[in-house]
Amino acid sequence: MRDPETIWRSDYLHPGPWDQTIEPVSMVALFDETARRHPARPLIDFMGRRYSYAETLDGANRIAAGLSRLGYGAGDRIGLFLPNVPHYVAAYYGILKLGGVVVNFSPLYTVDELAHQVEDSGTRLLFTLSASALLPTALKVLDKSSLERLVVGSIAGALPTTKSILYRMFRGKEVTPRPAGDRRVTAFSGLIANDGRFDAPAIDPDRDLALIQYTGGTTGTPKGAMLTHQNLSANARQVARLDPDPGQVDRVLGVLPMFHVFANTCVLNRTVVTGGEIVMLPRFDAAQALAALQRTRATALPGVPTMYRALLDHPKLKDTDFSSLRFCISGGAPLPAELKTRFEATIGSRLVEGYGLSESSGVVSCNPYGALNKPGTIGQPIIATRVRLVDKEDPGKPAPPGEPGEIIVAGPQIMRGYWNRPDADADVFVDDPDTGVPGRHWLRTGDVGVIDEDGFIRIVDRLKDMIAVGGFKVFPSQIEAILYHHPAVRETLVIGVPDAYRGEVPRAYVTLHDGAAETGAVLREWLNPQLGKHERVDQVVVRLGLPKTMIGKLSRKDLIKEVEAEGW
């Protein structure tokens, strides 16, 4: 078979060429240029209220100015503990304009998870909302960590007038009042009460950090992937250039959570590159997504397989007109072939599968929007992205010809490294496998794949233990650590088992100490309240023993084989 790079040079199916250069540009310059060219265009449609590029730019400038007056500046880590709301976009670009570093935090985090990542990243200030699902958690973290300040916004203030009144009247129980008299807590409205003037720092796109995105990497507990301005702006431009007809209306349905790297690139940054519009929903709800698509005539829908299955199963599907959709992009978890076939036959829009990691700013490869698709593959690499297969046991050597190998990636979107983790950098970066030349920043993905005769990549296995739950990554070791706190649990292993809706779901297997009589149901009821929603196990299975290696180490691989043989 031909060398893959030869295929991508001669038979590249994305708008090409494949081997081009992506010039360095800061995220601030990218945003400012689009706002200059299209000030009156809508950037955000939030539940019917629209925000233009000019309005969003003004908000970002005011946030930068407000933060500056509070004493924050270049290099400071500032967190976003927010769902999809207009505050997120303004704060994101405002922090970047100040030269700060955005740290994304999932609204699903528990107090301990949020506090750990706040401490690890050195986050000084956190943006959040006066929602009962968020503010109490943020206040506890403010008290138990080195976090200095909260900036608290209101969802009602971002809604159209009528919806804002109804929200205050009927959903007041979902709002936690901002504590009065606490000087550590600032109202979002107070932060932006200024003229938007500040001393903008010079930004080096290649060196200056824009985002710390927490990820499990290939193994272990979450680590902060350091993404520069160029990493993010390059990946946004790479993804924007996948469109074979870029002159069309660009209106993306933004239901993926923006704290996730997939949405950060494919919903937010890429849409800013195109001058498009984001139809923003605070969270995914199938009925709301269908209604928003119908109301706004959205043209693109990035999502995870779980979302597409939920849309297909919703009773309002038959009443929705999907003719405006030009393409849908699936990522975050493997896309079952039957789901792709069913979706395309029912909706009439192409559903293409892509692939990426937090360490790659979001996207590495994708099936073409307007050319050959191969179900079960992650397509061809996006422009300026190199992919190699290396030996699974020795990543310094190419994979044997014709055999699967670990996927490694190089390109302008590859992270600078892990925050304060040079040890992890040494594990995840390798030298050029062909020449041995160091410093090329080839990223080990932990996924094992093959590349076919058309240059399409297929993932056949994964080296890492992470479980993909509806697009989120769950780390078995963290669930196991909590289970070990239960006095009845002697040993435990957590694995991912197939789930028709979420792709995979965690399941815990335990053995008990002598004399203990707890059932799996009792242990599950004890465990799940301590976990984030996407981490919760479907079962805790009590066993007499768990498989071990020859040296007595618990063997996750052998447990998976046993459970699979039993029919899951």
pLDDT digit string, tens, across residues 152-178: 999 877 777 656 554 554 455 566 777
pLDDT of res. 169: 44
Q: List, in order, residues 6 or more apart from 327 with CB less than 8 Å away.
A: 300, 349, 350, 351, 352, 369
Q: Per-residue DSSP letters for 388-431? A: EEE-SS-TTSBPPTTS-EEEEEESTTS-SEETT-HHHHHHHEE-
Separation CA 565–CA 229 (nearest Å)? 47
pLDDT of res. 548: 84
The residues pairing with 364 across neighbouring beta strands, listed in sequence order, are none
Reported as a single tens digit per residue, the pLDDT across 433-459 is 766 666 557 999 999 899 999 999 999
Determine contact, residues 458/450, Cβ cutoff 8 Å: yes
Where helices occur in 122-267 by DSSP H, the ranges are 135-144, 161-170, 188-191, 229-240, 261-263
Determine contact, residues 44/50, Cβ cutoff 8 Å: yes
pLDDT of res. 177: 75
Name the pairing type of β-strands 42-46 and 277-280. Answer: parallel
Separation CA 100–CA 209 (nearest Å)? 8
Please give the average per-residue pLDDT across 477-505, as a whole number.
Answer: 92
166-177 burial, b at 16+ Cβ within 10 Å, e below that, comes to ebeeeeeeebbe
- Tokens 């963290």, residue located: 478
pLDDT of res. 257: 92
Rank 105-109, 199-203, 552-556 by mean pLDDT and report only the highest. Answer: 199-203
Closest CA relative to residue 112, chosen from 101, 122, 120: 120
- What are the tokens at 61? 């400038």
Helix (H, G, I), strand (E, B), or coil: what is residue 4? helix
- Strand ranges (E), 38-98: 42-46, 49-52, 77-80
Reported as a single tens digit per residue, the pLDDT across 243-280 is 999 989 999 999 999 999 999 999 999 999 999 999 99
Average pLDDT of the residues of the chain:
92
pLDDT of res. 393: 83
pLDDT of res. 216: 55
Q: Per-residue DSSP letters for 483-506? A: HTTSTTEEEEEEEEEEETTTEEEE
User: In the CATH scheme, what is the code of domain 27-40+52-203?
Assistant: 3.40.50.980
Helix (H, G, I), strand (E, B), or coil: what is residue 215? strand
- What are the tokens at 70? 């509070």
Separation CA 350–CA 328 (nearest Å)? 6
DSSP assignment letter at 177: P
Q: List, in order, residues 6 or more apart from 441 with CB less than 8 Å away.
A: 410, 414, 429
Reported as a single tens digit per residue, the pLDDT across 72-86 is 999 999 999 999 999
| Residue intervals in the chain for CATH 3.40.50.980 | 27-40+52-203
pLDDT of res. 157: 74
H or E segment to which residue 442 belongs: strand 442-451
- What are the tokens at 392? 């699974």
Determine contact, residues 419/119, Cβ cutoff 8 Å: no
- What are the tokens at 88? 């997120």
- Cα dihedral 531, 536, 541, 545 sign: negative
| Dihedral Cα 485, 486, 487, 489, nearest 10 deg | -100
Closest CA relative to residue 465, chosen from 441, 495, 442, 443: 495
Separation CA 311–CA 228 (nearest Å)? 35
Q: Per-residue DSSP letters for 233-256? A: HHHHHHHHTT-S-TTS--EEEE-S
Separation CA 116–CA 224 (nearest Å)? 12
Separation CA 527–CA 540 (nearest Å)? 9
Q: List, in order, residues 6 or more apart from 29 with CB less than 8 Å away.
A: 203, 205, 233
Give helix then strand counts, H and E, for the chain.
18, 27
Round to the nearest angstrom and report the end-to-end CA distance of the chain: 37
Burial class (CB in 10 A: 0-12, 13-18, 19+), 187: middle
pLDDT of res. 2: 86
Separation CA 242–CA 16 (nearest Å)? 9
Lowest mean pLDDT segment, chosen from 237-241, 336-340, 540-544: 336-340
- What are the tokens at 357? 């990691």
The answer on pLDDT for 130 being more than 80 is yes
- What are the tokens at 269? 């940054």
On whether the 467-565 domain is CATH 3.30.300.30, my answer is yes
Q: For the chain, what is the radius of gyration of the CA atoms?
A: 23
pLDDT of res. 436: 67
Separation CA 91–CA 272 (nearest Å)? 15
The answer on pLDDT for 181 being more than 90 is no
The answer on pLDDT for 110 being more than 70 is yes
The answer on pLDDT for 354 being more than 90 is yes
Separation CA 281–CA 304 (nearest Å)? 15
Separation CA 330–CA 252 (nearest Å)? 14
For the entire predicted model, the pTM comes to 0.86
pLDDT of res. 219: 45
pLDDT of res. 112: 93
Reported as a single tens digit per residue, the pLDDT across 184-218 is 999 999 999 999 999 999 999 999 999 999 985 44
The residues pairing with 542 across neighbouring beta strands, listed in sequence order, are 510
Closest CA relative to residue 511, chosen from 535, 528, 536, 486: 486
Reported as a single tens digit per residue, the pLDDT across 395-409 is 888 999 888 999 999
DSSP assignment letter at 554: B
